[in-house]
Structure 1
Amino acid sequence: MTRLLHIDSSARPHGSDRHAHGSHTRRLSARFVQCWQALRPQDPVVYRDVGQSPPAPVTGAWIHAAFTPADAREPWMREALAESDALVDELLAADVIVVGLPMYNFNVPAQFKAYIDNVVRVGRTFGFDRSRGAEPYWPLLAEAGKTLVLLGSRGDYGYAEGGRLGRLNHGEASVRTAFGYLGIVDVHGVAIEYDEFADARLRASIAEAEAGVDALAERLAAQRGQRAAA
């Protein structure tokens, strides 16, 4: 059994397949999960909508609590970390993390940055020990076998690596960096472009992305099945 964590981060509440001004990333993330469930209906899915219900941003109290050893935390510290603990628990339990990730001003939505800040947790998702000298940090999820799927959308075009605007795509790069820091390095992505053009190029990009999502879901589901059979 493979456990999926499905996260949407768009500020738009509906998918573009259901609403004229809906979210392309919600459209793609829902399609990926539906395709996966058709292939592997036994796999459970946990859904988290940070676009509509964003996590609280990190505060000084949060930092104080997170860097206090768990057995020394006061009640207010446990309360300050309660939401973060729930998000980390979901991440730790997941085998495949599917993220609807639109580009907002060349980076991730603030809602998803708040999510990242809540799950990059000392002692839970990365380790820290000053006695290690020059390399005090290490990933705690490197052996967990997790897969990250980033399903994006962009108003312009050419944001893929090596594209005309690839150097400006800080969103996917920053997510790969943050999750890689935790040890999640098996990352895959599909994106819709040309949204602001609203013409045949957008329609073609949607069709190509949907085909890419279907193929990716089928491939990753097959790989998980092969792992289970090995």
Structure 2
Amino acid sequence: MTQTVLRIDASARRQGSISRQLTDSIINRVAPDAEIATRDLADGLPLINEAWVDANFTPADARTPEQRQTLALSDTLVAEVTAADIIVIGLPIYNFGVPATLKAWVDLVARAGVTFRYTEAGPEGLLTGKRAYIAVASGGTEAGSEIDFATGYVRHVLGFIGITDVHFVAADRLMLDAESSMKKANAQVETLGVAA
């Protein structure tokens, strides 16, 4: 059975992007024969607003046509994640955190009753059984360091919606030693297992 990969590019740069380059390498390594769906966040996403929140918290069978239209993009983004076996995210670190477009994507996808639910034991993610790979690129921030507010956030939000099998490949501190950083990242890609 052919696997489906959802590729999410969060870099604002379409040319010369290290996170896009690493995303290519990861997909070629773990799912070379998969069907690829691409969501390029460089195209931009709207921020949630009061109308979106009102529509989201209105029961589905009570939504007006306008509210359904307000949620249409969010529904599409949720469907993309739901349909994917593997999610590969190109994650540049901007000013110690995730790009604003990736945060907008999270806000549109993390929906109570749709991608997670609240239980007596706490929140429970509903998008289980998936694997995620995160291609990290940074100029000066060391991945996993105390000034990295991106990788921990992405791991947490993916787990929140049920995706707990998460693997990182990091080309970090590129401004300090790009050659060594890329060598390390490419070696990490080679250790990734091919998806069954």
TM interval, shorter chain, is: over 0.9
Q: Number of aligned pairs?
A: 195
Offset of residue 193 of structure 1: 1.9
> Which aligned pairs between 1:1-230 and structure 2 lie closer than 5 A?
1-14=2-15, 22-38=16-32, 41=33, 43-50=34-41, 52-128=42-118, 132=120, 135=121, 137-141=123-127, 144-156=128-140, 159-161=142-144, 166-197=145-176, 201-216=177-192, 219=193, 221=194, 224-225=195-196
Unaligned 5+ residue runs, structure 1? Answer: 15-21, 226-230
SS state at 2:45 partner = coil
TM-score norm. by structure 1 comes to 0.80
Offset of residue 136 of structure 1: 5.9
TM-score norm. by structure 2 comes to 0.93
Distance 1:34 1:93 in 2: 20
Distance 1:90 1:174 in 2: 21
Unaligned 5+ residue runs, structure 2? Answer: none
Offset of residue 204 of structure 1: 1.6
Runs of 4+ with >6 A deviation: none
Matching residue's letter, 1:83? L
Offset of residue 64 of structure 1: 0.6
Distance 2:124 2:29 in 1: 35
Distance 1:37 1:2 in 2: 8
Question: Retained in 2: the 8 A contact 1:55–1:111?
Answer: yes
Larger radius of gyration: 1
Question: Retained in 1: the 8 A contact 2:6–2:38?
Answer: yes
Offset of residue 37 of structure 1: 4.6
Distance 2:160 2:167 in 1: 16
Instruction: Evaluate the alpha carbon distance shift between residue 12 and residue 193 of structure 1 in structure 2; reply closer, same or farther with a 3 A threshold.
Output: same
**Higher fraction of strand:** 2
Distance 1:193 1:77 in 2: 42
Distance 1:94 1:208 in 2: 28
Offset of residue 194 of structure 1: 2.6
Distance 1:180 1:192 in 2: 23
Quote the sequence identity (%).
38
For 1:10-44, what per-residue CA distance to the aligned partner results, in whole angstroms no more than 9, with x for missing partners? 01112xxxxxxx11101100121233454xx2x21
SS state at 1:170 partner = coil
Distance 1:96 1:204 in 2: 28
